[in-house]
Amino acid sequence: MALKNKYLIDLLETVKKRNQGEPEFIQAVTEVIETLEPVIEKRPDLVEAGVLDRLVEPERQIVFRVPWVDDNGKVQVNRGFRVQFNSAIGPYKGGIRLHPSVYIGIIKFLGFEQVFKNSLTTLPMGGGKGGSDFDPKGKSDGEVMRFCQSFMTELCKHIGADTDVPAGDIGTGAREIGYMFGQYKRLRNEFTGVLTGKGLTYGGSLARTEATGYGLCYFTDEMLKANGKSFEGKTVVISGSGNVAIYATEKATALGAKVVALSDSNGYIYDPDGIDLACVKQLKEVERKRIKEYVATHPNATYTEGCKGIWTIKCDIALPCATQNEIDGESAAILVKNGCWCVSEGANMPSTPEAINTYLANGILYGPAKAANAGGVATSGLEMSQNSERLSWTFEEVDAKLHGIMVSIFKACESAAKEYGMEGNYMAGANIAGFLKVAEAMKAQGCV
Ligand code: GLU
């Protein structure tokens, strides 16, 4: 999309100059700025208040050394990050990514996305994100614990239940959250809801584990219904095999679809009989093994090395739940050619701008990440509420609230897109609806 508005063109130029060497961040900002053009034309007051100029600059960025000792007694050093992006509508909130690809540009793109996503949830949460280039893969429990304790020893100075509430993301699951929470409690001598995604014995919420995957399917189901379609009898390809992919598979299957593929960072499995989720859960959640082990017990299934090929599998609906930019223009064109008519995003920014253009040009029903995967952080917000009132809600209660939130997110995207002349473009709708709440709050609070 080519921008015409001079103010936005200049703003994007400034962002590009100021954030050189951070292509993921620039990509995330560009997408948002391009879809906000009609809003900016209608709302000179927001330009006057410098809302967008402030929104593209994180409020605070913390970068720190994370030293830890490995099982051989050798000192290892990783780099830790926390980007506190925007606190206009609530305390900073967002996950911690542990992956070797992590650098400041990745954390900034994730933090920026989080601002809009959290706004869409309707809950009072600002946006933030953290992480480290530490790779938990292949590390012993002891090594992971020592890393998490060292990471929290610095991070605890910057977070708090009313300040900034981290959670999981790629590489950070229940084990890591447990170690981080334990260290925070020990250092601060306080038991508060400072992290979400906690275990059920120490303040976690029922349905938080399932929330991102279930929420993705609730959102997608709503989008399908609005367009006279459903999951019933459809073939679905899902990438990834972490928490999001596993529970998206569970819910899509419950809604009548057949999920035929899953992947990890090494390759993908294709099972024409439909994925045996109990086996995947055992492999990934219990044994921490690679997805290729699946074919050893499923003779009809095949394993293919490499990730990109998963998008050549014929499907009706694709749910990318692995990582950023996993669907490029070429893969998107193959999906369309093979008859795929819906793409809904469980991962953060899994589609490149070329892929998104291909979806829009071909009338694909496209559920953008900020809206479609907001169920995880929404349920984190519900965990915060339960911690504040020192009560635990039932699974059914949390799941029903999550469902209601995902329906309202879809409605907000649908109506914002319509109001600004882009009916059916839920990406534009998500950006506009997410932006407006934060923008009003920023304007009301003055130049801070
Ligand atoms: N990392 C998840 C996300 O991308 C969850 C964040 C949270 O629960 O705070 O939204």
In the reported structure, the alpha carbon of residue 377 is separated from the centroid of ligand 1 by a whole-number distance in angstroms of 5
Distances from the Cα of 306 to the Cα of 12, 161, 303, angstroms: 35, 41, 10
- Whether 129 is catalytic: yes
Q: Is 164 left (phi over 0), alpha (psi -120 to 50) or beta?
A: beta
Among 84, 79, 81, 80, CA closest to 112: 84
In the reported structure, the alpha carbon of residue 299 is separated from the centroid of ligand 1 by a whole-number distance in angstroms of 36
What does the DSSP 8-state code read for residue 303? E
* Phi, then psi, of 443 in degrees rounded to 5: -65, -45
* Catalytic hit among 93, 108, 117, 129: 129
- What is the number of alpha carbons within 13 Å of residue 318 lying toward its C-beta? 32
For the entire predicted model, the pTM comes to 0.98
**Structure tokens, 166:** 């981290």
Dist CA 191 CA 185 (whole Å): 6
In the reported structure, the alpha carbon of residue 45 is separated from the centroid of ligand 1 by a whole-number distance in angstroms of 31
What pLDDT is stored for residue 2 in this prediction? 85
List the domains of the chain with CATH numbers. Answer: 6-55 (no CATH), 60-190 (3.40.50.10860), 209-372 (3.40.50.720)
What pLDDT is stored for residue 252 in this prediction? 98
Dist CA 40 CA 49 (whole Å): 12
Dist CA 37 CA 349 (whole Å): 20
Position in ligand 1 atom list of the atom nearest CA 117: 10
Coil, helix or strand at residue 61: strand
Position in ligand 1 atom list of the atom nearest CA 94: 9
In the reported structure, the alpha carbon of residue 168 is separated from the centroid of ligand 1 by a whole-number distance in angstroms of 6
Handedness of CA 220, 221, 225, 230 (dihedral sign): positive
- Residue 229: alpha-carbon gap to chain centroid: 25
User: For ligand 1, which residues put their CB under 6 angstroms from it?
Assistant: 93-95, 117, 167-169, 196, 348, 376-377, 380
What is the secondary structure of 388-434 as a DSSP string?
A: HHT----HHHHHHHHHHHHHHHHHHHHHHHHHTT-TT-HHHHHHHHH
Pocket mutation for ligand 1, best pick of 380, 385, 402 (most atoms within 8 Å of C-beta): 380
What pLDDT is stored for residue 1 in this prediction? 67
- Beta strands 317-320 and 342-344: pairing type? parallel
Coil, helix or strand at residue 230: coil
Among 381, 329, 319, CA closest to 355: 329
For residues 373-391, one letter each, b for 16 or more C-beta atoms within 10 angstroms of the residue's C-beta and e for the rest, the string is: bbbbbbbbbbbbbbbeeee
Q: Are 333 and 311 in contact (CB under 8 A)?
A: no
Q: What is the largest CA-CA distance in the chain?
A: 64
For the chain, 448 residues long, give each residue's pLDDT as a single digit of tens.
689 999 999 999 999 999 999 999 999 999 999 999 999 999 999 999 999 999 999 999 999 999 999 999 999 999 999 999 999 999 999 999 999 999 999 999 999 999 999 999 999 999 999 999 999 999 999 999 999 999 999 999 999 999 999 999 999 999 999 999 999 999 999 999 999 999 999 999 999 999 999 999 999 999 999 999 999 999 999 999 999 999 999 999 999 999 999 999 999 999 999 999 999 999 999 999 999 999 999 999 999 999 999 999 999 999 999 999 999 999 999 999 999 999 999 999 999 999 999 999 999 999 999 999 999 999 999 999 999 999 999 999 999 999 999 999 999 999 999 999 999 999 999 999 999 999 999 999 999 9
Q: For ligand 1, atom 9, name the residue with the nearest CA.
A: 94
Q: For ligand 1, atom 5, name the residue with the nearest CA.
A: 377
Residues 6+ apart with CB under 8 A from 231: 217, 220, 221, 224, 252, 255, 256, 257, 317
Coil, helix or strand at residue 63: strand
